[in-house]
Amino acid sequence: MSRRSRSLAQRVQEHLGFSVIAIGVLFIVLRLLGVRSTFAGFALSVGITLALNVGLSYYNDRRARNPRPQVEGRGGGDIRWREDDRPRDDR
């Protein structure tokens, strides 16, 4: 029961609201602290945030579909013995 792959437009729509609100709050806080900001800076920040969020969405979906195989730890599950110190059965 895997989810259908989402298109680029769907991913952008999902992340657009978050990007605008998050950067808007940041710019308001910076304005209160006395830092000047322009509309071009706001638009560029929203664009960068949106690109990063959409890219991470693609990356996470790919990792979910193709997980890395789990490699067993070196010492097995017993932490009382290291591999060097395990008692040997010399039959």
CB 51 within 8 A of CB 18: no
Question: Into how many domains does the chain fold?
Answer: 1
Within a domain: residue 67?
no
Within a domain: residue 87?
no
pTM above 0.85, yes or no: no
Alpha-carbon span 15 to 21, nearest angstrom: 10
State the sign of the Cα–Cα–Cα–Cα dihedral 21, 25, 30, 32: positive
Within a domain: residue 34?
yes
Within a domain: residue 43?
yes
Instruction: Tell me the residue range of the domain where 29 lies.
Output: 8-62
pLDDT, tens digit, 9 for 90 and up, residues 2-59:
567 778 888 888 889 889 999 999 999 999 999 888 899 999 999 999 999 999 999 9
Alpha-carbon span 72 to 74, nearest angstrom: 7
Within a domain: residue 2?
no
Within a domain: residue 75?
no
